[in-house]
Amino acid sequence: MQDCIFCKIANGEIPAATIYEDEDFRVILDLGPASKGHALILPKAHYADVYEIPEELAGKAFALAARMAKKMTAALRCDGFNILQNNKEIAGQTVFHFHVHLIPRYEGDGVNLTWAQGTLTEEDKKTLLEKLGK
């Protein structure tokens, strides 16, 4: 995909701080980290988001995220870990090449990924189950 910065980084055309690479993915340090060690899993093939990426590759990306979380937690001695993936502008996506955020968490790091909890009303539950229920 021409003019996609993550395509260029994933395929080595633009240098980036790489912490892991295999035939499908490159994992780089995020240039605007939420916390120390914030990294991104980039597939080498271009898919804009979770709606486009084949499920098998999405599965591989999550398996890699789990492996990276363990490796990074041991190396960085962080206290916890967020694995995050945004799709479309409304959900906070700013680079439209599928990627998975790996965010090490430390006591007192000030990272805020929380939201105000709503309530699942009986009415919402009924309509949602009509739309989504098996």
- Residues of this chain that interact with ligand AMP (CB under 6 A) are 5, 16, 28, 30-32, 40, 86, 92-95
1 binds, among ligand AMP, Zn ion, none (CB under 5 to 8 A by kind): Zn ion
Q: By C-beta, is 24 or 49 nearer to ligand AMP?
A: 49
Applying CB under 5 A, does 99 fall inside the site for Zn ion?
Answer: no
Distance, CA of 45 to CA of 47 (rounded, Å): 7
Distance, CA of 72 to CA of 69 (rounded, Å): 5
Within the chain, what is the greatest distance between any pair of CA atoms? Answer: 53
Residue 40 beta carbon to ligand AMP: minimum distance, rounded to whole angstroms: 6
| Residues in 39-98 that interact with Zn ion by CB under 5 A | 46, 97
Three-class DSSP category at 124: helix
Q: By C-beta, is 19 or 76 nearer to ligand AMP?
A: 19
Applying CB under 5 A, does 28 fall inside the site for Zn ion?
Answer: no
Residue 119 and residue 54 in contact, taking contact as beta carbons nearer than 8 Å:
no
Catalytic residues: 99
DSSP-derived secondary structure for 41-105:
EEESS---STTTS-HHHHHHHHHHHHHHHHHHHHHHT-SEEEEE---SGGGT--S-S--EEEEEE
98 binds, among ligand AMP, Zn ion, none (CB under 5 to 8 A by kind): none
Q: By C-beta, is 91 or 129 nearer to ligand AMP?
A: 91
Residues that bind Zn ion (CB under 5 A): 1, 4, 6-7, 46, 97
